[in-house]
Structure 1
């Protein structure tokens, strides 16, 4: 792999603007190469101009305090000056400039100096942030160690500000006790066998700390609502082993995230230094000079490479983490601190291909089977479409949504959208598009096998009744999927299953939880799976009331079923409405109120269209459905394109946002048009299009599939916009809540 591609691949996506513009510098070098070839042809001009004549105006502006590095070969001279902001800035002078490529060389070094200044300043600012975080972590560790000592001696009667005696033998092995004593400044008095150590006044830190609430529950939200005037995000300091265990787990996670920030910064320094070295070697080769050595000497003396703060912090974090969180087991500690490299397994690719082939073969077999036996014109065709088809269409909706999600992952990766960070997946556990395709086509294969078995058994000439085992096949598959989802064993991507179920619960419990991006993103997905949710309702009715044994549909004649037919369709939109209301109250963001209105309009439109589908004779229902559906469509389309995609919000001259990940602008225009067209699928419900060759259930399934496709397109651009917002703010890490909160007034006085 060429360095340029490898350089881009190893970039932190959110920091990509802060990296050296390697591709841009290569373009300038190519211009130098082209100019030299053009001017060095027979009859071309070959002479050098004196630096004193060409750079006299440049050298006069350097102050006496500026320093320079003078290489053995005087091809270039690099000056370092201090700007008004206190940061070093570098400027390069070419001592002898050939006429061939003269202007391009000047442009090259001007661009290189600016790029290096950008990299150097960004690195320094991030190192300063890490140093500040290290100070905070140091205080957290002081509190943690004091808390642990207090818990390990529950029978003691000391107060936090007193010097007392504690049984150090209760804290672990000899090495652990010695390490803890060193950390706390404890002086050992007498023989260690008596187990008594002198605990200094450092325990007084417990007088100035409180526990932060880091886990929100519905009960805590209700209590907060009841105590609006006494809002607090802190718990009382209770010295229990349960609290100690929670604090240790939280602090361990904080250290892991902090260490990975340090690793990212170290890699940032290495990559940019290597990129400068590579580009200077290319310059020497193209311009026939020896400037790389001089420039790299300057780079080696700059803050980017000579600063040792990151290495020191990494060593401190490693030693502290190993000592206090892994029982001096260094291999275990380092395995937790260093992210695991996720390797692509060939069996995943093979299995995915196998199930894709099975799915395609089964679809072909189903079409041929239906045609050979003329099942469309059979007597039981209508009954089958009203009973079995809604059961199996549920799997089609799920599989299609998973395929669209896998496509999203593929293109997110292709255009470097950091979807694991945006969704908050645990590092190394996120599913790739191959994994999602494997699951989707595996489920598709299972469902299609059931369909073929069901049709084959139905056409058995010796079978006059519907066999129970045949009718129960769809229910068996649904039960199997649910069992896999709730399986406690570490199989079938347990981490992803737990994450998904947790987010589903938070969507159902809205607005009792603080709304995060995964919560409202999944709720939006559910709004596009209304027909799948209605299919689940039909499962309960069809199998719960015993219709399956006679293959008959009495559900639609039930008022209870009809009532829940409305409720099930409204639940996803109502969940999003409540999420928007919660964000409006918490964030005081008026846009969330307008977003809530969008979902409220959709709830009304869905209810009116459903009512009209039950009572097509009423013109009032039809007019009401038309009006509110049109309003909801216009509002939703505008919101998708302007706010969720950010395409027409402060647009550039192309009516799109200035920063785009997809190089072809036509893709965005096509996506906007498709969003509008696919949102108009509701027209079929109001206008009641009838096609003789399509059963009504087939039409409903096709419209539901179109909505799933629309949501899949929406997903890509929604996350692209979120990613670009993170890039604009260089937001590459999520904030991790600390276990302790120091009293600010006491902390300032100390």
Structure 2
């Protein structure tokens, strides 16, 4: 594989624009090569005319004089690299500018533009790397304070009656130490960490950087500079003083904590349970911080390798020896000489192993460097097997219906009208899972870190193969049951004396619910628990803190209103005994009609409550407008359902008006707010500046699809 493809594959998606423009530099080198090729072609015609005369004159005894740039070490005659020092925010920033000394030669302007672009890329990479290093240094300082607080809390929980004079002596390796005397890049840690970093990871929006914030429930209050000096000098800290500077950041993330926060003080003494929770969150923070450091280290390595590769290509094409001189400059720059990230990696490893793995380095490194999930061949095999079975069963169902000419008989039409709505529940679920499987496939294709975004535990997340396997397995089960229904109900003798065919759909629902709630560690238990937890958070909105998985699931529920109504149909069909008469007359029951209204509104109502919760917490008006959007949708659903049940001209007009308003609002919100499209001044006309998918037609097709889905 060519380096350009490897380089692109190794890029962190959020940092793509900060990498060296390898392809842009290659395009300039192609221009240089094309110019030199055309120049050689012109020279070759003149040389061929004089070749015979030159051969007779020198008889092979003369030697060809070599061009000066090929002989000896004369790199200084090709380029010189100047360094300009700029003062910015109490730190020195170096900018590099290369002077090409062969500009007067033919085609020299192409090579000059190459080095100009090369300098721009080097300065860009150094600037971004500096910003990221400063960012991780701030996070490391905050992590150090949180580690102090955790150690103090551990001591307090284990010995609640300990004297306030108890001192904690930290191991020297616990302190995240950074050498600030590095040449070229004196990076200074700010005196106080950014307080926004302790408010929690906002998983309700996708961050530009995947782990840009450090969060735990332990929030150390900022120290004075004097206290910092004392701690640094003595190496010991008073337990009572540390605990006075520590407070537990109680996020209102459960119904009980929300009610306590609403009606009164929710502060409680630190317990073992609270300490364990804080330890787990800090463990997660260390893991995410470590992964960020590794990405930053890989960013540095890949850019250094790219500079080396592009300079070798330049030497080969331009026949000049400038690589050694320029790469010496690159190696002495910030990205080549800074060692802060490596030292931070070592310190994080030592601290994590000591405090979270009881000194067991192997176990500690397993947590910091989780193994990549292995793809299993049996998943692929059974996915294909179930897919083939599903297709075969669909063909069998069609042939069964056609062979008995079921749709041509009055009984057959009534039968299909009864049975199809029951099995449509599984059709909606299967289709939704197939679409989710496709989503995961494209997320992985375009390197979207959905595992982090949704907060899945590393190594337990489902890939597109696993989701596809579950959906095709459910499809096989549903089609088998449907085929059995047809077989039994077409036998008039059996139909007259047996109600077994009517309870087959109920048995299928029971099997699905049993698998979903099964406590045994089978059929992706961790993913089922994650789904049920998010579903509980949605149902209990607004009592739970709104996270990305919760509102993502609630959004999906709004597109499954018909599936939820099919579940209500099951309750009516079997709960009210309709299956005994083999007729579905649920709409003749007033209670069913009431719940038919309620069930259609529930998903939108849950999203409305989630938006209200976020509006109260974040004080951002955008959530208020989002809540208004869902309220308009609720009104439209109620009026449209009333028209569906009662008919009438007035209801039809009201349904058209309310649905039109809701469609316009939802379409605008999805395209402009959620997708960030239709930006007139974007560098991608009517799209946005950063596009995950390189093909712009995909976004325009998605806009059309959104409009059609809302209208539908």
Could you say which residue in structure 2 is the equivalent of 1:301? 332
Q: Secondary structure at the match of 2:408?
A: coil
Whether 2:281 is the aligned partner of 1:281: answer no
Is 1:405 aligned to 2:436, yes or no?
yes
Displacement of 1:242: 2.7
1:624 corresponds to 2:627: no
Q: Distance in 2 between matches of 1:584 and 1:200?
A: 41
Q: Report the counterpart of residue 241 of structure 2 in structure 1.
A: 204
Q: 1:587 to 1:136 in 2, by over 3 A?
A: closer
1:78 equivalenced with 2:108 (yes/no): no
1:312 aligned to 2:312? no
CA offsets 1:538-586 (integer angstroms, 9 cap, x no match): 1111122232244222322111111000000000111112222222333
* Larger relative contact order, structure 1 or 2 (CA cutoff 8 Å, min sep 6): 1
For structure 1, which segment, 275-284 or 415-424, has the greater mean C-alpha deviation from structure 2 after superposition?
415-424
Residues 406-438 of structure 1, C-alpha deviation per residue, up to 9 Å, x if partnerless?
Answer: 222223333344433333333343322222211
After superposition, the Cα gap between the structure-2 partners of 1:661 and 1:182, relative to the gap in structure 1 and judged at 3 Å, is closer
Change beyond 3 A, Cα 1:646–1:137: closer
The CA distance in 1 between the partners of 2:324 and 2:303, in whole Å, is: 16
Compute the displacement of 1:200 (Å).
7.0
- 111-120 vs 481-490, which deviates more? 481-490
What is aligned with 1:600? Answer: 631
Change (3 A) 1:113 1:349: same
Query: Residues 559 and 578 (structure 1 numbering): CA distance in 2 closer, same or farther, change over 3 Å?
Result: same
Q: Secondary structure at the match of 1:210?
A: strand
Tell me which residue corresponds to 1:14: 14
CA distance in 1, matches of 2:564, 2:545: 25
2:593 to 553, 559, 562: 562
- Corresponding residue SS for 2:81: strand
Q: Secondary structure at the match of 1:439?
A: helix
- Flag the 1:101–1:348 CA change in 2: closer, same or farther, 3 A: farther
State how far apart, in whole Å, the 1-side matches of 2:74 and 2:358 are.
52
Q: Does 1:577 align with 2:583?
A: no
Farther-moved stretch of structure 1 (252-261 vs 98-107): 98-107
CA deviations over 1:714-746 (Å, ceiling 9, x no partner): xxxxxxxxxxxxxxxxxxxxxxxxxxxxxxxxx
**Aligned-partner SS, 1:662:** coil
* 3-state SS of paired residue (2:82): strand
Match of 1:133 among 133, 136, 139: 139
Match of 1:105?
111
Maintained 8 Å contact 2:98/2:116: yes
Q: CA deviation at 1:352?
A: 1.4
CA 1:634 to 1:139, structure 2 compared with 1: closer, same or farther past 3 Å?
A: closer
**2:696 counterpart of 1:665:** yes
Match of residue 204 from structure 2? none
In structure 2, distance between residues paired with 1:13 and 1:474: 46
Q: Contact (CA 8 Å) 1:362, 1:445: kept in 2 or not?
A: yes
Partners of 1:508 and 1:111 in 2: CA distance: 55
Corresponding position: 1:641 with 2:641: no
Q: Give the distance between the partners of 1:610 and 1:304, measured in 2 at CA.
A: 62
- For the residues of structure 2 that align with 1:245 and 1:284, how far apart are their CA atoms? 59
Seen in structure 2, the aligned counterparts of structure 1 residues 242 and 607 have a Cα distance that, compared at 3 Å, is closer
Q: 1:200 to 1:264 in 2, by over 3 A?
A: closer
Question: Quick check: 1:355–1:438 contact (8 Å CA) kept in 2?
Answer: yes
SS in structure 1 opposite 2:97?
strand
Distance in 2 between residues matched to 1:465 and 1:519, nearest whole Å = 48
String of CA shifts for 1:208-229, please: whole Å, max 9, x gaps. 21222246112222233335xx
Match of 2:3 in 1: 3
Could you list the runs of 4 or more consecutive aligned residues of structure 1 that deviate by over 6 angstroms after TM superposition? 44-51, 178-184
What is the CA-CA distance between 1:374 and the residue it aligns to? 0.7
Aligned to 1:29: 29
- Partners in 2 of 1:7 and 1:466 — Cα distance? 70
Counterpart position of 1:143 = 149
Instruction: List gaps (5 residues or longer) in structure 1.
Output: 52-69, 167-177, 185-198, 682-750
For the 8 Å contact 2:144–2:174, the answer to whether it is kept is no
What residue is the counterpart of 1:121 in the other structure?
127
Check if 1:372 corresponds to 2:403. Answer: yes
1:651 Cα deviation after fit: 4.7
Q: Give yes or no for the alignment of 1:590 onto 2:621.
A: yes
Distance 1:360 1:87, change over 3 A: same
The answer as to whether partners of 1:648 and 1:656 remain within 8 angstroms in 2 is: yes
- Quick one: distance in 2 between partners of 1:315 and 1:142? 19
Is 1:351–2:382 an aligned residue pair?
yes
Provide TM-score, normalisation by structure 1. Answer: 0.78
Q: Deviations over 1:334-360 (max 9, x none)?
A: 000013212322222222111111111
User: Deviation string for 1:367-403 (max 9, x for gaps)?
Assistant: 1111111111234223323322111111111111111
Quote how far apart the aligned CAs of 1:49 are.
12
Q: Is the 8 A contact 2:174 2:347 kept in 1?
A: no
The residue aligned with 2:504 is 473
Q: CA 1:293–1:490 in 2, change beyond 3 Å: closer, same or farther?
A: farther
Tell me by how many angstroms 1:474 deviates.
1.8
| Of 339, 356, 367, the match for 2:370 | 339
Cα 1:292–1:397 change in 2 (3 A) is same
CA distance 1:104–1:429, shift in 2 (3 Å): farther
User: What is aligned with 2:578?
Assistant: 547
- The one of 351, 376, 390 equivalent to 2:421 is 390
For the 8 Å contact 1:146–1:205, the answer to whether it is kept is yes
Q: Which residue of 2 aligns with 1:38?
A: 38
Write the distance in 1 (CA, Å) between the matches of 2:693 and 2:350: 44
Give per-residue Cα distances to partners, 1:289-330, cap 9 Å, x unaligned.
Answer: 222222222222222122111111111111111111111111
Asked whether the 8 Å contact 2:633–2:659 carries over to 1, the reply is yes
Query: Measured at CA, do residues 100 and 459 of structure 1 come closer, stay the same or move farther in structure 2, by a change above 3 Å?
Result: farther
Partners of 1:398 and 1:351 in 2: CA distance: 19
Aligned residues: 628
Residues 193-213 of structure 1 deviation map (CA, whole Å, 9 limit, x = unaligned): xxxxxx973553123212222
**What is the deviation of 1:655?**
2.8
Farther-moved stretch of structure 1 (241-250 vs 449-458): 241-250
Q: Which is worse superposed, 573-582 or 446-455?
A: 573-582
Match of 1:192 in 2: none
CA distance change for structure 1 residues 101 and 439 in 2, over 3 Å: closer, same or farther?
farther
> CA 1:202 to 1:604, structure 2 compared with 1: closer, same or farther past 3 Å?
closer
Q: Is the 8 A contact 1:466 1:550 kept in 2?
A: no
Distance 1:376 1:19, change over 3 A: same
What is the aligned partner in structure 1 of residue 184 from structure 2?
none
Q: Tell me which residue corresponds to 2:94.
A: 88
Give the match for residue 58 of structure 1: none
Q: Which residue of 2 aligns with 1:727?
A: none
Distance across 1 between alignment mates of 2:166 and 2:618: 46
Query: Are the aligned partners of 1:76 and 1:94 in contact in 2 as well (CA < 8 Å)?
Result: yes
In the TM superposition, what is the alpha-carbon distance from 1:636 to its structure 2 partner? 1.7
1:485 aligned counterpart, secondary structure: helix
Distance 1:23 1:183 in 2: 43
